[in-house]
Amino acid sequence: MCLSRLISVMTESRLSILIYHRVLDRFDYLRPDEPVREDFLWHMSLLSRYMNPLSLPEALLRLSEDRLPGRAVCVTFDDGYADNLHCALPVLERCNIPATIFVATDFVDGENMWNDRIVETLRYLRSDSLDLRSLGLSVYLTATKEQRYNCSMTLLSEIKYKPLKEREHLVSSIESLAQHKRETLMLSESNLRTLHARGVNIGAHTQSHPILSELSPEDSYHEIAGSKQWLETSLQCPVEHFAYPNGRLHDDYTDKQVKQVKQIGFKSALTTEYGAVVKNSDLFQLPRFTPWGNSRLLFLLRLLKSRYVLGLKKRRFP
């Protein structure tokens, strides 16, 4: 199939915002869905060849002025992983693609995120099973790589929506079961400044990456405003874009957070809801697309498909 012909069916006024988290330097059986450097290179090469990559601020400005070019696309990363600098940035620079990284500021020069602490524990666990019945969980098989991966996915989904204190207790308890050197996976402040100095747009992603919908209005405001303030102080520049942690409407954020993000002075807020952005999209609930697929054709077909879904346009709060 001729890719150029396929691409030509794209509409001229839609913006796809791609969401990544990490770019690994080698395949990790515990994170099989994260692209490695070589995957990311062909992703970006395809965007460079067939799409029109723009920075998020420029894309949103052009959208508001009806000047969005055809096949417009933005690349974003969530959380603030160190590999964004070491693995992703060289590829982005080689392909001349701008990007935005949304940073959860408590993890800068800090501890790993709770989900990574679980995953890394499973990597170093020395037993063939994990008995967590004393924590109100189950017994999990951990003899093979596949079992360890399945165990990590099950634990992450079982723990994700627990109240913050309970989640921290569970993670610390599980972490104590495997002795290992805890290497940070996150950006340092110096890394962050390097990314910024090399032209990467930095956005806010709260301080501690909580489920915002579960917080009191005061705590939610503090998390959102605090991350903006921290980044602006560190980078000495305005931080104008925000991404909701986890990013699903109702489960992870509600109209309360949408109001707060506007009130705090952001120009846009991004979700993880599926779809593409059009001129009348809600700027404070912009949908994104998670790229996946092992082949170039599948990657492009899925990207094309996502451009015909308008995300949250017709959804209403209860």
Which residues of the chain form contacts with Zn ion (CB under 5 A)? 78-79, 245
Q: Which is nearer to Zn ion, 78 or 175 (CB)?
A: 78
**Alpha-carbon distance 191 to 134, whole Å?**
40
CB of 253 to Zn ion, least distance (A): 12
Name the residue among 140, 149, 14, 148 with its Cα closest to residue 69.
14
CB of 88 to Zn ion, least distance (A): 16
Question: What is the pairing mode between strands 52-53 and 72-79?
Answer: parallel
**Alpha-carbon distance 264 to 188, whole Å?**
25
CB of 214 to Zn ion, least distance (A): 15
Q: Which is nearer to Zn ion, 35 or 245 (CB)?
A: 245
CB of 96 to Zn ion, least distance (A): 26
In this structure, the number of other CB atoms found within 10 A of the CB of residue 165 comes to 8
- Contact between 189 and 108 under an 8 Å Cβ cutoff? The reply is yes
Q: Which residue is nearest to Zn ion (CB)?
A: 78
**Alpha-carbon distance 204 to 173, whole Å?**
30
Q: Which is nearer to Zn ion, 140 or 230 (CB)?
A: 230
**First-to-last C-alpha distance (Å) of the chain:** 44
Q: Which is nearer to Zn ion, 53 or 210 (CB)?
A: 210
Q: Which is nearer to Zn ion, 148 or 205 (CB)?
A: 205
CB of 159 to Zn ion, least distance (A): 16
Task: Give the residue carrying structure tokens 């346009």.
Answer: 313
